[in-house]
């Protein structure tokens, strides 16, 4: 008997450099959690954790949920953000297997075992992805974590909008770094500059 699998969209999510950053001393930033929740709302996507934060859970999603709940208590988050955090946790449906090598290989292994995934996006500050994943990869700036600009790209990818230059974000991060090093006084205007920058980047 043939069983038709329900198609789904997946966010392969790193934590450090995406929902944590130096600004929060690597503590989960609820502003970033809101951004991830918004991506899920706009695309009906679920989250598969590819971050090293999954280590020790041995693929047990319930154990990872409990780890995050204890993290929330330990770090004394205010009660008014509990619903936001709970929503984030409820969207986590799995974790990639720890097989070593490239993170892209771990994601590829998950995809091979889950043919029901029809579309996906990888959100990570590292670049150790496979070549055939670049069209689905949004690289964040480690120092900033995920931004609204990144989120828009994620929504477009998950909703099937073709990205003409899949490695734009990598070039953009290098360009941002170059500008900041040479002209530190433009920090407050850098997003506007990037918006107007030629599409070759």
Q: What is the CATH number of the domain that holds 120?
A: 3.40.50
pLDDT value at residue 1: 42
pLDDT value at residue 198: 46
Cα–Cα nearest to 12, from 100, 141, 125: 125
Residue 110 shares a structural domain with residue 98:
yes
- Does 101 reside within a domain? yes
Residue 140 shares a structural domain with residue 112:
yes
Residue range(s) defining the domain that contains residue 189: 167-201
Residue 92 shares a structural domain with residue 73:
yes
pLDDT value at residue 134: 87
- Cα separation of 107 and 137, whole Å? 11
User: pTM of the full predicted structure?
Assistant: 0.79
Total domains, the chain: 2
Residue 97 shares a structural domain with residue 186:
no
Residue 200 shares a structural domain with residue 113:
no
Residue 54 shares a structural domain with residue 145:
yes
Residue 133 shares a structural domain with residue 188:
no
Q: What stretch of H or E contains 95?
A: strand 92-95
pLDDT, one tens digit for every residue, the chain (201 residues):
444 557 899 999 999 999 999 999 999 999 999 999 999 999 999 999 999 899 988 888 999 999 999 999 998 888 889 899 999 999 999 999 988 778 999 999 999 999 999 999 999 999 899 988 988 999 999 999 999 999 999 999 999 886 554 455 555 555 555 555 555 555 556 556 556 554 444
Residue 87 shares a structural domain with residue 111:
yes
- Does 3 reside within a domain? no
Phi-psi region of 58 (alpha: psi -120 to 50; beta: other; left: phi over 0): left
């Amino acid at each position: 008997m043939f069983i038709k699998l329900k198609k789904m969209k997946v966010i392969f999510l790193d934590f450090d450099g995406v929902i944590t950053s130096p600004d929060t001393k690597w503590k989960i930033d609820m502003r970033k959690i809101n951004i991830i929740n918004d991506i899920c709302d706009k695309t009906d996507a679920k989250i598969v954790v590819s971050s090293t934060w999954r280590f020790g859970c041995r693929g047990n999603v319930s154990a990872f949920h409990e780890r995050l709940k204890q993290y929330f208590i330990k770090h004394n988050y205010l009660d008014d953000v509990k619903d936001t955090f709970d929503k984030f946790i409820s969207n986590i449906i799995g974790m990639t297997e720890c097989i070593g090598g490239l993170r892209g290989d771990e994601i590829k292994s998950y995809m091979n075992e889950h043919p029901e995934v029809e579309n996906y996006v990888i959100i990570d500050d590292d670049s150790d992805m496979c070549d055939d994943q670049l069209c689905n990869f949004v690289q964040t700036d480690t120092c900033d974590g995920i931004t609204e600009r990144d989120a828009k790209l994620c929504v477009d990818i998950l909703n099937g909008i073709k990205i003409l230059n899949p490695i734009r974000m990598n070039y953009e991060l290098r360009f941002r770094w170059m500008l900041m090093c040479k002209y530190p006084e433009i920090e407050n205007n850098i997003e506007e500059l990037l918006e107007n920058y030629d599409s070759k980047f």
